[in-house]
Every structure is written in C-alpha cells, then in structure tokens.
Structure 1
C-alpha cells in the first residue's frame, strides 16, 4: 500500500475483500448499540458462511446500530488479503484465527493514523510540517507491512503518541491560518450541550464529548474534530466546511439533514434521511 494525499481508497473499508473480522474479532455488549452480548473472537450470530452479514440492510431496525457507525479504515482487507495472504480464520485453524484477531485491532489503529496523516498532507496551512508528516506517513505504512507476530508485539500506543505530536502542530497551523483560531474545547464535557447556532469556527474540539449535543445550525468551519464523540449529536443544518480530522464513523454516529454541510472526505449516512 502506498497512500497519497489525493487517494485514500486503501483506507476505506472493502468488506468484499475482508473475512468479516469486525464481526468476529471485536466484542460488544448488549446496549442501545447492540441487541446481544458477544465475546471477542466469537462470530456474530448474524454472520453467514460467506462472511456476509445476514441483516446488513436492516441493522439499525434489528437493534445493531453500532455496526453502522463502525469503520476499519481498510484494515480488514489489509489483514485478510495481505498480512495473512488470503487465508481466512475458519480454514486456518484456531491458532491462525487467534493471531488474525489479535492483529486486526492493531492494524485498525495504524490505518486510522494513516487517514489523519494523509489528510494533514492535503492541508496547505500545514506546509511547514509536510516533510515531517510525509516521513511519519511512510514509517506508519512500513509498520502495516510487518509480519503477524511483529504486529502483535507492536507498541501502537507509543507510535500514536509520535504521530499525535505532528497532528497537534498541524491543527495549530491550520486553525491559525484561518484568521479565526477559536477557543480550545479540547476534551471538554459537552454532553447534551445546547450549542444551537454556536460559532465554533476554528475551534479545537479534539476529544470533546459532544454526545447528544444540539449543534443545529452551528458553525464548525475549520474546526479540529479529531476524536470528538458525536454520538447522537444533532448536526442538522450545521456547517462543517473545512472541518478537519473528521471521520466517517463520527458522522455515521451523529444525526443530520440534507442541509448539513460536510467536508468532501465524508458523506451523509443513509439513516439521516431514511430514519431509524
């Protein structure tokens, strides 16, 4: 894989090339997001023999909305087809399956970092750190090419910290370059906050808890949204033009409308217009 700023296709999930790793490797608990409990390494009860979901077209109405907001950033097909050479977890035996399930979450984190680094390289204001970003991108790509054993032993947290230093610098440059560097709300508890029509241009919302926040008509242009929790946040008619480090899972977890303006890197999810 060689990711370029103009092409992030390798960082988008291709379920047809994956052995349903997210449906098996990851655990989930009975909640508003999942109708049942499932242990890590146990196939979801809805998984079919062909590695397809039996209720894919009705996940939300069947009590599995959590599945609709998950994204592996292309890690599933990388692990399935490259790291393990196309041998699925069913045919490879228990030890093969265990190693595949251990590697998948690591690869997912690396691919998420690749997504952010690739986006950072598209931001003109971050040009002073583009060389460093490119080096970190290449280093991260090399990590994704390691063997299953090496990936299983990788301290991905330490690597994430190195990447984060550059992403923080990128954020500062981009938000300063807008001429409206908004206030920092990094990690703020904005659970259910009433932010209707709020001016959040250029704001630092990294890691902010915006669960069920009312952001109707809010101005989020050029805001840093990396890691912001947008579950059930109302983005109806909000303007997120130029917002950066925003991912599809974040948008999928929120509520919105035809009037919500989004960056080109993400798309409005079907449930915004189709209902629950």
Structure 2
C-alpha cells in the first residue's frame, strides 16, 4: 500500500532498510489482512482477510500509480515498517497464502502483530542514534534485541504474544529518551522559544493556526494536528511520536532533527519543496514540487 518504495529520493539511512516496506518480497498482506471502510481515505468497504479487488495474481496493486485519484488515499499513507516481508519470508518461510491456503488465516492475523513490533524497532533504532539519550542506551539496546527476537518467533508464539505489554515497556523508554534529548537541546539553544505553549500528549490542535510557530523541542506526542497549518513552523527536535498529520500543512516547515517522525506521518500530510526533512525520511511524491 505504502508510497515509500516509489519515492524518487534515495533513502540515506541504510540501518533501517529492513524496516521499510519491500512489496516485492511480500504477499500483498496489507491489501488482504487489513479492513477498511468507505470514506475519504478508501473508495470501498473491505473486510479483514478479504482481498482488495485491485490486488493482482502477482500480489501487485493494479492501480498503484492512480491510488489517490481513485479514492484510495489511505493506501498511500499506510506503512508496514517492513513487517510484510518479514511475515512472508521469515515467519512463513516464503510460502504464500494462495499456494498454501491453510496458512492464510494465521498469516493475516500475525501481520498486524508483526507490524507493531517493526514500528517499535523503527523507534528504538532511531533512539539509539541520539547522543543525548546515552544514559538509556543500554536499556534501549536490550529492548531492541528483545523486540528483534520477538519478530522471529513462530506464528503460534506470535499469536500468543502480549504486544500491548511489550509496547508499554518500550514506550516508557521512548518517553525517557525524548525527555533527555529535548532537555539537552533546550539547554543548548542560544535563542530559546519565547512564550512557547506547553503541549501535552494527545493535545487537540485540529485545524490550529500554527503558521511560522517556534515549536523547537515541543512535546507533540500523539497530538491531533489534522488539517492544522504548520507552514513555515520550526519543529526541530520536537517529539512527534504518534502525532496525527492528516492533511496538515507542512509547507516550508523545518522537521530536521525532529524525534520519532515516520514516513507514514509525512505521507498523510501536505508539504512542498521547501519542507525540510530528517535524512532518514523521503519527500512524498504527492507533495507540491514548488516552494516559496
């Protein structure tokens, strides 16, 4: 589903290559396992385990280059963090659900579990690159190794895994990482933000006018930024984990150094050639190619 593999810019962060969708080595799992409802993001209803009518026999999408025009914007936003190829090639040893229909139900149920684990791997890998998080690098390394171990469990073991509990433990580490990084960055700022609003997790900023706002080091974890205007905003070293960027205007915004930003968040937003991105992410193909 994801646009990630068709972005024109090459990914410079080679340490995360296994955490990027590789549709060539997947069995169209996101197009079958996941449900969606007719809405602004999807043109039709589809149940979990039901193959999308656009999925071809070779597991390719028949309308991939026209998804947005045909009403399947949600497909271009979704990112499995490489879970698709892990389930297809590792968990099920390359045996696809069409040739081995007996595996289909379990494969479709394992896929969203694997996706959660791979998302955690993405965040943990990023956290390990942040020098200011050195005090928790040991714990992060252990969590990274344990999460990777979990991704290699058998299908039966993955089905029994308490992902929520593991996620809660890892998220606590991410929060400590964020606090360390942002506190260190604030201490080093020569001109700290003036009168910066204090945001908290899950703050409602739907449709907010934050044009040109100085949001350096802000806590925007889980913030609802749907259709907000962040054009020209400074989001350097802001914590953006879980922030909802659907239709958020990021034109000209500076996201370099932001913490825990994902490609899916960018794919859901609007931006342009002047939007500055972290080196580990790419400019979505549907963004405007013009800037100021």
TM over 0.5: yes
- Structure 1 runs not aligned, ≥5 long: none
Q: Which residue in the other structure is 2:217 paired with?
A: 202
Deviates most, 266-275 or 130-139:
266-275
Residue 149 in structure 1 maps to residue 156 in structure 2: yes
Helix, strand or coil: the match of 2:205? coil
Q: Which residue in the other structure is 2:138 paired with?
A: 131
Pick one of 267, 270, 275 that aligns with 1:260: 275
Superposed, 1:185-224 pairs within 5 Å as 185-224=200-239
Q: Which has the higher contact order (CA 8 A, sep 6+)?
A: 2
Superposed, 1:21-170 pairs within 5 Å as 21-93=29-101, 95-170=102-177
Q: CA RMSD in A?
A: 1.4
TM-score using structure 1 length: 0.95
Q: Partners of 1:106 and 1:52 in 2: how far apart? A: 23
- Structure 2 runs not aligned, ≥5 long: 1-12, 187-191
Q: Which residue in the other structure is 1:13 paired with?
A: 21
TM-score using structure 2 length: 0.90
- The number of equivalent residue pairs is 270
Pick one of 250, 256, 273 that aligns with 1:241: 256
Give CA deviations for 1:78-109 in whole Å, capped at 9, x if unaligned: 0000000000111112x410000000000000
Q: Partners of 1:18 and 1:256 in 2: how far apart? A: 29
Give CA deviations for 1:105-146 in whole Å, capped at 9, x if unaligned: 000000000000000000000011001000000000010010
Task: Give how far 1:265 is off.
Answer: 1.3
Helix, strand or coil: the match of 1:272? coil
Q: Partners of 1:102 and 1:65 in 2: how far apart? A: 24
Q: Partners of 1:119 and 1:37 in 2: how far apart? A: 35
Flag as ranges the 4+ runs of structure 1 deviating above 4 A: none
Task: Give how far 1:186 is off.
Answer: 1.8
